[in-house]
Chain A
Amino acid sequence: DTGVSQDPRHKITKRGQNVTFRCDPISEHNRLYWYRQTLGQGPEFLTYFQNEAQLEKSRLLSDRFSAERPKGSFSTLEIQRTEQGDSAMYLCASSHGGGSSGNTIYFGEGSWLTVV
């Protein structure tokens, strides 16, 4: 499978616990994105990386959220002290290059988070 891979696919956690999601992008893609999607809404941009550099973070991304891409390959998204409002599907996506036509963004299957 050469698509975007996310793990775990489903996570149920108690409020206050920390969770971490992993994303493996398509191998030749240097851009990696994290989005969050709640029921009835479109995906909301959280952050993106070009190689290992985190170039933009949304105002939606509170201090409890941190993302890394240490070697410019896989990425992790950690949520500390989870709250019920964090329950959502967390989508990872990747693309080759950026800024011009043809740099299509491909999504992974998503990681569902339920905070109880």
Chain B
Amino acid sequence: QKEVEQNSGPLSVPEGAIASLNCTYSDRGSQSFFWYRQYSGKSPELIMSIYSNGDKEDGRFTAQLNKASQYVSLLIRDSQPSDSATYLCAVNRGATNKLIFGTGTLLAVQP
């Protein structure tokens, strides 16, 4: 079992719809959770972080964390073609501040 698992996609949604991206992790000691966006050929860019159970909203983005289920999700409201990218889920297990990444989910927003 991989430490951080994501569906590789592609996830295709129409413009204006809600895109829902999911991630599960195996280490219950994980403390911090991040979503990075990566455009093709570019480096990862942080878009959301979440540290406690529940929802965290930032503009069109909402991160959701359920530590009991070891599950993190990212919702993108009013999806735009410019949101088309790979979304990487990353988990920090604590003391080392080392991030473990999933393989990413490719999102394609259709105009």
Bound-state CA distance A103–B49 (Å) is 10
With A41-B103, A43-B88, A101-B32 in contact, do A33 and B46 touch (Cβ < 8 Å)?
Answer: no
Point out the residue from A91, A97, A98 that lies within 8 Å of B44, measured CB to CB.
A91
Point out the residue from A41, A48, A106 that lies within 8 Å of B98, measured CB to CB.
A48
Bound-state CA distance A109–B99 (Å) is 17
Contact-residue bracket for chain B: 20 to 34
Find chain B residues with CB under 8 A from A103 CB: 97
Contact-residue bracket for chain A: 20 to 34
B101 located at the interface, meaning its Cβ lies under 8 Å from any Cβ of chain A in the complex: yes
> Across the interface, do B103 and A45 meet the contact criterion of CB distance under 8 Å?
no
> Across the interface, do B97 and A101 meet the contact criterion of CB distance under 8 Å?
no
In chain B, what residue has the closest Cβ to A55?
A: B96
With A40-B103, A42-B103, A101-B31 in contact, do A107 and B44 touch (Cβ < 8 Å)?
Answer: yes
Bound-state CA distance A40–B31 (Å) is 26
In chain A, what residue has the closest Cβ to B6?
A: A42
Point out the residue from A40, A99, A102, A110 that lies within 8 Å of B95, measured CB to CB.
A99
Bound-state CA distance A89–B38 (Å) is 13
Bound-state CA distance A115–B88 (Å) is 26
Beyond the given A41-B104, A55-B96, A105-B34, please list 6 additional residue pairs across the A-B interface where CB-CB is below 8 A: A40-B8, A48-B97, A48-B98, A98-B96, A102-B51, A109-B43
Binding site for B on A (CB under 8 A): 31, 33, 40-45, 48, 55-56, 89, 91, 95, 97-110
Binding site for A on B (CB under 8 A): 4, 8, 31-32, 34, 36, 42-46, 49, 51, 88, 90, 94-104
Can you sample 21 A-B contacts with CB below 8 Å?
A: A31-B97, A33-B98, A40-B8, A42-B4, A42-B88, A42-B101, A43-B44, A43-B99, A55-B96, A56-B96, A97-B97, A99-B95, A99-B97, A100-B31, A105-B34, A105-B46, A105-B97, A105-B99, A107-B36, A107-B44, A107-B45
